[in-house]
């Protein structure tokens, strides 16, 4: 969203933009069949949101309530949020294993513009449910959800294969990620890492208690 006149424009800062979206979400959207709100009021970056969609009439989704997660990283709204269904759903744009809405198959995410909002995403998803190629698809039993591990991974921004592998080793911080890149998985590996032990020769020195001697001087 931009403000200005006379051909000039001012970009609304990220947090102001999200505060506007939060206020709109709290007031209610349209007929109430889509809604959203922030998950953690203490998160100053306002990253994690929960959305709800009530399935459209005259479709297999009618009467169903779908919950999904939206993750607005620090580059939002320049880049779209990552969107993931918590409720299991069968849609052509949704990954059947993780519930992630795939940008390549969902136009608003694939062709994102700064002016788009979370409300726009939810409304488009509801329209997708009513589209000819989705409205009659066989659905999972109502009430089924994607796994808790997927949900936890999502909350940490785990979206790629490498991220998933790192997550399985408990790699959640920047330092953890750096350790992971060196193959640091065990307690001893972590201790070696803290002393800057990365090479085979360093490891030998470490095993003899040589911690503070610079490699060039360790003869």
pLDDT in tens, 134-181: 999 999 999 899 875 655 555 555 555 555 555 555 545 555 555 555
What pLDDT, on the 0 to 100 scale, is given for residue 28?
A: 85
Which residues on neighbouring strands pair with residue 29, listed in sequence order? Answer: none
Strands (E), 75-143: 82-85
Q: Which of 112, 131, 159 lies at the terminal end of a domain, its last residue?
A: 159
With beta carbons less than 8 A apart as the criterion, state whether 97 and 161 touch: no
- Residue 1 in any domain: the answer is no
Indicate whether 34 belongs to any domain. Answer: yes
The reply to whether 8 falls in a domain is: no
Residues 136 and 28 in one domain: yes
3-state secondary structure (DSSP) of residue 51: strand
Give the domain extent around 61. 14-159
- Whether residues 147 and 185 share a domain: the answer is no
Q: Which of 144, 196, 23 is nearest to 210 (CA)?
A: 196
Residues in a beta bridge with 67: 52
Is the bond preceding residue 77 a cis peptide, omega within 30 degrees? yes
Rounded-to-integer distance, Cα 1 and Cα 8, Å: 13
Q: Select from 79, 77, 128 the least CA-distant residue to 106.
A: 128
Instruction: Give the Cβ contact number of residue 51 at 10 Å.
Output: 23
Rg (alpha carbons) of the chain, rounded to whole number? 23
C-alpha distance from residue 72 to each of 24, 51, 89, 123, 196 (Å): 16, 13, 22, 17, 35
Pairing of strands 34-38, 48-54: antiparallel
Looking at the fold, whether 140 and 193 belong to one and the same domain comes out as no
- Together in a domain, 120 and 200: no
The candidate with the shortest Cα–Cα distance to 53, out of 89, 95, 11, is 89
Residues 151 and 189 in one domain: no
Same domain flag for 115 and 200: no
CA dist 117 and 124 (Å) reads 11
Q: What is the pLDDT of residue 49?
A: 97
Are residues 41 and 103 located together in one domain of the fold? yes
Evaluate whether 100 touches 86 at the Cβ level (below 8 Å): no
- 205 domain-assigned: yes
User: Of 130, 159, 188, which closes a domain?
Assistant: 159
**Would 3 be classed as within a structural domain?**
no
What is residue 3's predicted lDDT score, i.e. its pLDDT?
47
pLDDT at 151: 54
- pLDDT at residue number 121: 98
Specify the length of the chain in residues: 219
pLDDT tens for the chain, residues 1 to 219: 444 445 556 788 999 999 999 999 998 888 889 999 999 989 999 999 999 999 999 999 999 999 999 999 999 999 999 999 999 999 999 999 899 999 999 999 999 999 999 999 999 999 999 999 999 999 999 989 987 565 555 555 555 555 555 555 554 555 555 555 555 555 556 565 555 555 556 656 556 655 544 444 444
Query: Which of 159, 192, 209 is the last residue before a domain boundary?
Result: 159
Could you tell me if 139 and 73 lie in one domain?
yes
Residue 144 lies in a domain: yes
131: number of Cβ within 10 Å: 13
9 domain-assigned: no
Do 180 and 107 lie in one domain? The reply is no
Name the domain count of the chain. 2
Q: Are 22 and 75 members of one domain?
A: yes
Do residue 101 and residue 130 come from a single domain?
A: yes
164 assigned to some structural domain: no
pLDDT for the residue numbered 104: 96
């Amino acid at each position: 969203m931009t403000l200005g006149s006379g051909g000039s424009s001012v970009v609304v800062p990220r947090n102001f933009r999200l505060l506007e979206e939060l206020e709109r979400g709290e007031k209610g959207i349209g007929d109430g069949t889509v809604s959203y709100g922030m998950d953690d009021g203490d998160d100053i970056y306002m990253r994690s949101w929960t959305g709800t969609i009530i399935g459209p009439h005259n479709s297999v989704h009618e009467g169903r309530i779908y919950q999904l997660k939206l993750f607005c990283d620090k580059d939002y709204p320049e880049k779209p949020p990552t969107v993931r269904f918590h409720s299991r759903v069968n849609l052509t744009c949704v990954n059947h294993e993780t519930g992630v809405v795939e940008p390549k198959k969902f136009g608003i995410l694939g062709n994102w513009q700064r002016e788009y909002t979370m409300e726009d995403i939810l409304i488009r998803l509801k329209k997708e449910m009513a589209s000819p190629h989705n409205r009659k698809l066989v659905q999972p039993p109502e009430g089924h959800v994607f796994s808790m591990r997927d949900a936890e991974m999502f909350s940490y921004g785990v979206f790629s294969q490498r991220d998933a592998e790192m997550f399985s080793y408990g790699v959640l911080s920047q330092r953890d990620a750096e350790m992971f890149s060196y193959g640091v998985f065990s307690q001893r590996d972590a201790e070696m890492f803290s002393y800057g032990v990365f090479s085979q020769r360093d490891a030998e020195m470490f095993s003899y208690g040589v911690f503070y001697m610079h490699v060039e001087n360790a003869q």
